[in-house]
């Protein structure tokens, strides 16, 4: 990474970790320390905002997304040598402590939270770049698990082989996100500027892999909405089909934020209101509710009808709950973050110790 890139990142309040990793203190971590609110991850999943480390093991990315806040126009260079996973974790914690040191002297700071923040329990591997490019990602996640820390991994889905590797090594994160900000390949190309011929196919393969991760890790499809670009009504049915392909535990629907370098590409007028995001979510649910697995199994309709009838005769209430749990529904939202959460069951929202 050259000096120009490093200086740019430092101006954006990143703390660099080695040659290709870094952290940044999330604004919700700062707010939590002052008892001014919390991140939606705390409200939805029970993750303490003040004990979260927002980081990336790799600033490189295959895409140049229009809505990305990072300096995609800059050349991040090539990685000559990859850092050790343990070193990345240790230095990330060190830099986190260093960047939070000034909060101790503020009257607004909750000192109990500040002391707890010195040892983050959650690693959000989603700050910038594409984390799956880091070849030792599995080791990093396993080391976090060994230390009793949760990990949220966000990927663009363009390296399905890395997801397969994590599956094989039993190194899946606590919660795995796939960004799906496009209903089809045309919009994908427009937003990401990715010209690789097989990139859309790779994303589709990742969605199929997500479907196979049931009970192995928590899965999320994240949709970042940009007004007049990827949230038109005629796109919603196609989104529903892609969500069905992945069949995730949760669907996070967020609004684009005009921050950082994104402001140079997309203005504030592209930021959808929370009411628009909720409206999109409600319309998406209508399509998802029409896509029950047995509705398309034409060859098995008669058999399934008989099975459903027999089960309903034996355990009508139990069968009714099974039917209900298969459908996506509104679970929660957070207006300040402009995010809506869809899923199948509210009882599965909070993370328990067995899922670390």
Shared-domain flag, residues 162 and 91:
yes
Provide the residue range defining the domain that includes 310. 297-326
Which tokens hold the place of 253? Answer: 């629907």
Which tokens hold the place of 75? Answer: 């050349």
pLDDT recorded at residue 19 = 83
Whole-prediction pTM: 0.87
Shared-domain flag, residues 277 and 196:
yes
Shared-domain flag, residues 175 and 252:
yes
83-94 pLDDT tens trace: 999 999 999 999
Shared-domain flag, residues 302 and 348:
no
Per DSSP, what are the bridge partners of residue 332?
A: 341
List per-residue pLDDT tens for the chain, 356 residues long: 677 777 877 887 888 888 889 999 999 999 999 999 999 999 999 999 999 999 999 988 998 888 887 777 676 778 889 999 999 999 999 999 999 999 998 999 999 999 999 999 999 998 888 999 999 999 999 999 999 999 999 999 999 999 999 999 999 999 999 999 999 999 999 999 999 999 999 999 999 999 999 889 999 999 999 999 999 999 999 999 999 999 999 999 999 987 777 777 888 899 999 999 999 999 999 999 754 444 444 444 455 555 555 555 565 554 444 444 468 999 999 998 999 999 999 999 999 877 77
Shared-domain flag, residues 257 and 180:
yes
Shared-domain flag, residues 109 and 43:
yes
How many domains is the chain partitioned into structurally? 2
3-state secondary structure of 209: helix
Shared-domain flag, residues 70 and 139:
yes
Shared-domain flag, residues 189 and 200:
yes
Q: What percentage of the chain's residues is helix, strand, coil (to nearest 5)? A: 50, 15, 35
Q: How far is CA 1 from CA 5, 72, 74, 115, in A?
A: 7, 13, 10, 33
Shared-domain flag, residues 167 and 316:
no
Q: How far is CA 263 from the centre of its chain?
A: 22
Q: What is the CATH number of the domain that holds 27?
A: 3.20.20.70
pLDDT recorded at residue 314 = 63
Query: What is the average pLDDT score of the chain?
Result: 88
pLDDT recorded at residue 308 = 56
pLDDT recorded at residue 79 = 84
Contact between 230 and 188 (Cβ < 8 Å): no
Shared-domain flag, residues 20 and 165:
yes
Using CA atoms, how far apart are residues 311 and 226, in angstroms rounded to an integer?
Answer: 45
């Amino acid at each position: 990474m050259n000096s120009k890139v490093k200086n740019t990142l430092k101006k954006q309040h990143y703390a660099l970790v080695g040659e290709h990793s870094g952290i940044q203190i999330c604004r919700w971590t700062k707010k939590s320390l002052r008892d001014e609110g919390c991140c939606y991850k705390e409200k939805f999943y029970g993750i303490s905002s003040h004990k979260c480390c927002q980081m990336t093991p790799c600033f490189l990315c295959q895409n140049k997304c229009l809505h990305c806040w990072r300096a995609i126009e800059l050349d991040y260079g090539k990685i000559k040598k990859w850092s050790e996973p343990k070193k990345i974790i240790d230095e990330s914690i060190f830099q986190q402590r260093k960047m939070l040191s000034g909060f101790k002297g503020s009257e607004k700071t909750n000192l109990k939270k500040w002391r707890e923040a010195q040892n983050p329990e959650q690693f959000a591997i989603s700050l910038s770049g594409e984390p799956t490019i880091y070849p030792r990602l599995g080791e990093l996640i396993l080391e976090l698990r060994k230390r009793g820390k949760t990990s949220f991994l966000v990927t663009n889905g363009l390296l399905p082989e890395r997801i397969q590797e994590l599956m094989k090594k039993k190194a899946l994160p606590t919660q795995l996100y796939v960004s799906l900000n496009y209903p089809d390949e045309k919009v994908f190309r427009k937003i990401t500027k990715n010209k690789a011929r097989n990139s859309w196919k790779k994303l589709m393969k990742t969605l199929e892999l997500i479907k196979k991760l049931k009970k192995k890790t928590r899965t999320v499809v994240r949709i970042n909405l940009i007004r007049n670009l990827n949230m038109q009504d005629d796109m919603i049915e196609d989104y529903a089909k892609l969500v069905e392909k992945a069949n995730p535990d949760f669907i996070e629907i967020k609004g684009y934020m005009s921050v950082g370098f994104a402001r140079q590409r997309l203005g504030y007028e592209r930021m959808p209101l929370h009411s628009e995001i909720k409206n999109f979510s409600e319309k998406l649910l209508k399509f998802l509710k029409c896509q029950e697995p047995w509705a398309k199994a034409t060859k098995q309709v008669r058999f399934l009808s008989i099975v459903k009838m027999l089960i309903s005769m034996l355990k009508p209430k139990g069968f009714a709950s099974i039917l209900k749990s298969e459908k996506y529904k509104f679970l929660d939202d957070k207006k300040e973050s402009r995010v809506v959460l869809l899923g199948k069951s509210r009882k599965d929202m909070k993370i328990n110790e067995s899922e670390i």
